[in-house]
Amino acid sequence: MADASMKELLARSSLAFTGQVAKAGESEVPELPADERTVVVTVGEVLNAPPDVGLAPGARVTVQLSPDLPELEKDDAATFFADALIYGEELAVAEVGRLSHEESPAPSGQFAGLMDEGVEPVEAALAELAQDELVEHARGADVIVRAQVTALEKVPTEGPPREHDPQYWVATMRADFLAKGKLKDWTEEGADVRVLYANSLDVRWRACPKPKAGQGGMWMLHKTSGEQKALAPFELRHAIDLQDSIQIDLLRAHGV
């Protein structure tokens, strides 16, 4: 199991990186005035960061230190857990947590004395967080099935396309295992289920699962409501609604 403090810090932050203080009491971001808790950090290793941040080893980041943690001086090293404050030519972040140099990853990204069968603690903690998210999401799903897509059909629309239109389609899936919930026509052989989904690549819908012909997996389905109920009884709403079938074992282990 991942180190509890590591997991908590990763859950509370969007960025994690090792680094060494290059300047104390200074800022390299004009929009962030410096005080005694502002430091400029040279990044050693990026442990967790969204791809669009562009954080890389060697980059300099202005860090507004947490008021709940000790101040840092030039050449101090630590692992920083933070949220972005200012994007631009330079990055400024607000610290939400920290591990001391003794607790921090070595240059290889490994935590001395905390290795478990070759898995780095950061990787283990991120994996556990992803599992926690999946289990919690599954608890909120109305039906979970193992199924394969057998047909796809576009939902007809009237008039010209509207901005942010979801461009609904309906997938027919042949379910052979019912992991959660009830299906009206379920038999020992399984059942066919119609599932609504947004096929648009608009930013609002881009992350929604878009079933492909013959695609199989574990599908977490949500009941449709309003006018959409006439199109299909269930829909895919979230990026994680589609998972590998092996994840059914994970849900079973957590009592879902």
Task: Please list the residues that pair with 82 across neighbouring strands.
Answer: 15, 95
Task: To the nearest 10°, report the CA torsion of 35, 40, 45, 46.
Answer: 60
18 and 121 both lie in a single domain? yes
Q: How many domains does the chain have?
A: 2
Residue with tokens 């070759």: 118
110 and 198 both lie in a single domain? no
25 and 107 both lie in a single domain? yes
Q: Which domain holds residue 114?
A: 4-132
Cβ-in-10-Å burial (0-12, 13-18, 19+) of 221 comes to: buried
CATH of the domain at 20: 2.40.50.120
Whether residue 62 contacts residue 27, with contact meaning beta carbons closer than 8 Å, is answered with yes
Query: pTM (2 decimals)?
Result: 0.70
pLDDT at 34: 95
pLDDT bracket for residue 102 (50, 70, 90): low
Q: Is the pLDDT of residue 119 over 50?
A: no
Q: Is the pLDDT of residue 190 over 70?
A: yes
218 and 148 both lie in a single domain? yes
* Residue of higher predicted confidence among 48 and 223: 223
Q: Is the pLDDT of residue 105 over 80?
A: no
174 and 227 both lie in a single domain? yes
109 and 149 both lie in a single domain? no
24 and 111 both lie in a single domain? yes
pLDDT bracket for residue 151 (50, 70, 90): very high
Q: Is the pLDDT of residue 172 over 50?
A: yes
CA distance 102 to 75: 14
123 and 172 both lie in a single domain? no
110 and 173 both lie in a single domain? no
67 and 86 both lie in a single domain? yes
Average pLDDT over residues 112-126: 58
Mean of the per-residue pLDDT values of the chain: 88
Whether residue 42 contacts residue 55, with contact meaning beta carbons closer than 8 Å, is answered with no
Task: Please list the residues that pair with 104 across neighbouring strands.
Answer: none
118 and 170 both lie in a single domain? no
25 and 112 both lie in a single domain? yes
